[in-house]
Copies of this chain bind each other. A is one copy, B any other.
Amino acid sequence: MSKLLSLSDAVERYVPDHVRMLAVGGMHLHNNPMALVREIVRQQRTIGRLLTSPCGALNADLLIGAGLVDEIATSYVGFEHLGLAPCFRRAVEAGSIRVLECDEAYITHGLYAGAGGLAFIPLPAGLEVSDIPKVNQVSYATTTDPFTGREVLVGAPLCPDVALLHAYQADERGNAVLAGAHFVDRLMALASRTVLLQVEQVVPTEEIARHPVGTTIPGFLVQAVVEVAGGCHPTASHGAYDYDEQQLGLYLSMARSAEGVGEYLERHVTGVTEEEYLEKASPRLAELRYGEGPSPVPSSGRSG
């Protein structure tokens, strides 16, 4: 019954090469499932379509920098206040990646439609005036509102084949607790056919059962649980540690060129095991631990 797997086994078993649609969880510099992303790079799994949350960051840029992504569906790839995403930018400007230009509403509602088996999802009136739908006729179309007769912009459902997600804790059956902000990670889990979960910590089910209402991913949606404390580094892991501006700065400066990102990958991803990576990051992770406060994990419901 246990879904605990090593990082390499999880990716080997559940991510086919040239996966049709791979979703990466987390948002901006937070809760990026970087251990799983790095393992995808190590195993050189190519990706037909990469889907980000409304705001992708290193989780997308690293895969693009590794040359693994044919097409990306996103409403943002960047490093927020730290700057643009160098590999995404370079690939788009060079025409070496296809972009399905999306907006936040479509990504969120599209995942809802994917999770719920809805054939498509209408989008609020007003969204049709931006140029986004004009350049993405794969994701956007129009149909008739049968109640008013008006034409309405709609989006296609998003049903990722595989989602890579981070959670704070999970039990070995995949019941997971998201700490801090949830972003659209739960929706991604609901919409995706296969869910790989990296967690800071595996805990007994009794621990999860202490706060059932806050437990946001039920184990029956999860295929594999990988325990990688520190696995979001250099992005933040809500409830555990903040993002690492030093390492992100290093990435951003090296990734300014194709050669540079190659060197970064060799030094920090393909040339090292995940254990070696985390060993090296451990002094920084210790500095970046969040200060004291109440538990980041909700506690509620009934005992027993």
Contact = CB atoms under 8 A, between A and B. Distances in A.
Dominant SS at the A interface? loop
B122 A210 contact: no
Contacts of A112: 112
Interface in A150-198: 150, 152, 154, 156, 179-182
A109 interface: yes
A214 interface: yes
B123 A118 contact: yes
Interface string A98-142: 000000000001001100111111111100000000000000011
A179 B301 CA distance: 8
A75 B257 CA distance: 59
A208 to B, nearest CB: 13
A298 interface: yes
A125 B157 CA distance: 13
Interface of A: 109, 112-113, 116-125, 141-148, 150, 152, 154, 156, 179-182, 210-211, 213-214, 290, 293-304
Given A180-B301, A296-B300, 19 more contacts: A117-B124, A117-B125, A119-B125, A119-B152, A120-B147, A120-B152, A121-B121, A121-B122, A141-B147, A143-B145, A143-B146, A210-B294, A211-B294, A290-B302, A294-B300, A294-B302, A295-B299, A296-B301, A299-B299
